[in-house]
Structure 1
Amino acid sequence: NRARQLIEEFMIATNTCTAQFLAQNGASALRRVVRSPERWHRIVEVAAKYGERLPAEPDSLALEAFLARRRKADPLRFPDLSLVVVKLMGSGEYVVEHPKGEPIGHFGLAVRDYTHSTAPNRRYPDLVSLRMVKALLQGERSPYGAAELSALAEHCTQQEDAAQKVERSVRKSEAALYLQGMVGKKFDAVVTGASDRAVWVRIFAPPAEGMLVGGGTHLDVGQKLRVKLVETNVERGFIDFEQVL
């Protein structure tokens, strides 16, 4: 809803200002970055299915405008489109930016300067950023050296990845429990992950993600299809679908 979007905009503005403040004061700092996507061509193809044309080269502002239009046009299905785009962009990471260095930027948010600083109660990088801001305001030396910041950036990225794996595991078991009485039912779905080993799909109603069994290796992220639920395993968090031709 609009209230949530407003809060998100405030948070993005705060994180941007924090990153700029640290840079302007010559401090090395943790940055939250999302690099330019290697699979931009697939994002272009996804946009084309909605009658939209994105530039041939990665353009974060054009992508942001496209997503804003889709959010307004179809708010109910927008989360599914957003998930596809996020997976094609790749995950975020923490890096150290040194004074006078060239910022990598956050492609997903279309901003050049970005850090994490608004949630020190649940994210350690935010606490690091605020400690550095506090030291600057008090005229003190940075509490972190360059080597320590680099180690923290790597560690925080690894821990975030580990936490997200646990979160996904819990959500998969929850979804498997909800769907266990619907084996044999057919659903509309979208491909959210594809490799030589497996294809992952997400059904719209109820929203749940699972593996496509028995083929589908020709599919790619963003493609829509019809699937049938064939098996669930609550303990292991497995949800298996097969494509309905």
Structure 2
Amino acid sequence: AQAIIENNPKFEIQRKRDISSFDTTIPKEVSLTENQYNTKPEIAEAVLVLDRLAKKMRSKRMREGAISFDKVEVKFNLDEDANPVGVFFKTSKDANKLIEEFMLLANRKVSEFVGKMKPEKTFVYRVHDEPDESKLAQLQTVVGRFGHRLNFKDKGSIASSLNKLLTDVVGKKEQNLVDTLTIRTMSKAEYTTHNIGHYGLSFDYYSHFTSPIRRYPDVMAHRLLQQYLDGEKSANEEIYEEKCRHSSNMEYLATKAERDSIKYMQIRFMQDHQDEEFLGVISGVTDWGIYVEIISNKCEGMVSVRDMKDDHYQFDQDQYAMVGKKSGVVYQLGDEVIVKVKNTDLVKKHLDFYMVGKPENE
């Protein structure tokens, strides 16, 4: 049966996004409308109850093997002409996690409901396979440079070990690098009519049924659910599998466009900081140069080995390092270094640095 839910109470998500106390007054400093207003006590109490439930559900997911990815999002302060004048980092707070947990619950339960129907019905699943062992081994080698150890004895220990790693690096210089490498270690989630479960969430059944943005896979799930509730036969699997492939491909393009737009804005921001020095962390080493991520703004650029004229540097692949032949100076993955902006290229979305050296305290 279809239903229409009328939402009468006025309750806004606060900018602060912390849920910790019973307060019916929303001050203008944290209100999205920038106006103070009051909400009903029962609404505030309901939100606190939902918050407690969300935290219990999240804890249960973690115990059952889910992996917690809370990667820092790079955002920009813009002037009136939409030029980036500052960089800040967006993190997930209590209010975000409350909404996330109940969306996960809806997605899982709808998927499970249709997935257990007899006879079997065609449905759109969001699946995530187990990580590749060779990628896990590479991750172990890299994070070992920062003193972290991983346990890959079995499926359960992999998840708990990765969660510990992601918790241990919070607030540390290597956080963004480790977060990124860990995500790259994971298999790519995709849409399909063939359910294999979702490794990262530790769910046997999972679909995209609801979200803050309405995706086409959500719409397909809505239509199929209503079709089956109305007693209709199973949809054509081949047709929906093709729709799933298309959705996965479009998701890849959208994700790439988002990454490119962030990189573009980072380079625009750095254009106003030519010849300035920044403290960064070596995020990658190749035979043609050293990649450095600036700690204060997460902008990544490259120091070409051709520009390192104080010595003849050789690439040590086993140690993820560049080593000076005469001086013995080593620039290794994870090292803190000072770099200066050499060049910015918006068309190629490329940022070049000069290597200044290591901080004096090293």
TM-score class, shorter-chain normalisation, is 0.7 to 0.9
Q: Give me the TM-score of the superposition, normalised by structure 2.
A: 0.55
| Greater share of helix | 1
Match of 1:86 in 2: 183
Task: Report the Cα offset of residue 88 of structure 1.
Answer: 2.0
For the residue of structure 2 that corresponds to 1:108, the secondary structure is coil
Separation in structure 2 between the aligned mates of residue 35 and residue 212 of structure 1, nearest angstrom: 36
Give the residue type in structure 2 aligned to 1:29.
F
Give the residue type in structure 2 aligned to 1:35.
D
Q: Aligned match of 2:269 in 172, 175, 178?
A: 178
| Unpaired segments ≥5 residues, structure 2 | 1-92, 306-313, 322-332
Task: Report the Cα offset of residue 194 of structure 1.
Answer: 7.4
Q: Which moved more, 1:132-141 or 1:180-189?
A: 180-189
Match of 2:102 in 1: 10
Task: Report the Cα offset of residue 136 of structure 1.
Answer: 1.8
**Identity across aligned pairs (percent)?**
23
Separation in structure 2 between the aligned mates of residue 120 and residue 227 of structure 1, nearest angstrom: 40
Once the two structures are superposed, the pairs formed by residues 222-233 of structure 1 within 5 Å of their partners are 223-225=333-335, 226=337, 228=339, 229-233=341-345
Is the alpha carbon distance of 1:207 and 1:63 closer, same or farther for their aligned partners in structure 2, counting shifts above 3 Å?
A: same
Q: Aligned match of 2:150 in 41, 53, 62?
A: 53
| Aligned partners of 1:232 and 1:239 also within 8 Å | yes
Q: Aligned match of 2:348 in 236, 239, 242?
A: 236
Match of 1:28 in 2: 122
Deviation digits for residues 66-87 of structure 1 (CA, Å, limit 9, x no counterpart): 256337x649975553222112
Is the alpha carbon distance of 1:239 and 1:154 closer, same or farther for their aligned partners in structure 2, counting shifts above 3 Å?
A: same
Task: Report the Cα offset of residue 151 of structure 1.
Answer: 0.6
Separation in structure 2 between the aligned mates of residue 197 and residue 57 of structure 1, nearest angstrom: 38
Separation in structure 2 between the aligned mates of residue 187 and residue 16 of structure 1, nearest angstrom: 44
Deviation digits for residues 27-86 of structure 1 (CA, Å, limit 9, x no counterpart): 222222222222112333455545443224554532464256337x64997555322211
Once the two structures are superposed, the pairs formed by residues 78-157 of structure 1 within 5 Å of their partners are 78=175, 80-97=177-194, 103-119=195-211, 121-142=213-234, 144-157=235-248
Q: Give me the TM-score of the superposition, normalised by structure 1.
A: 0.78
Task: Report the Cα offset of residue 190 of structure 1.
Answer: 5.1
Is the alpha carbon distance of 1:217 and 1:45 closer, same or farther for their aligned partners in structure 2, counting shifts above 3 Å?
A: closer
Separation in structure 2 between the aligned mates of residue 32 and residue 217 of structure 1, nearest angstrom: 40
Separation in structure 2 between the aligned mates of residue 67 and residue 216 of structure 1, nearest angstrom: 28
Give the residue type in structure 1 aligned to 2:238.
A
Match of 1:100 in 2: none
| Unpaired segments ≥5 residues, structure 1 | 98-102
Q: Tell me which of the two structures has the higher relative contact order, counting C-alpha pairs closer than 8 angstroms and 6 or more residues apart.
A: 1
Match of 2:88 in 1: none
Q: Aligned match of 1:167 in 234, 240, 258?
A: 258
Separation in structure 2 between the aligned mates of residue 163 and residue 151 of structure 1, nearest angstrom: 18
Separation in structure 2 between the aligned mates of residue 75 and residue 138 of structure 1, nearest angstrom: 53
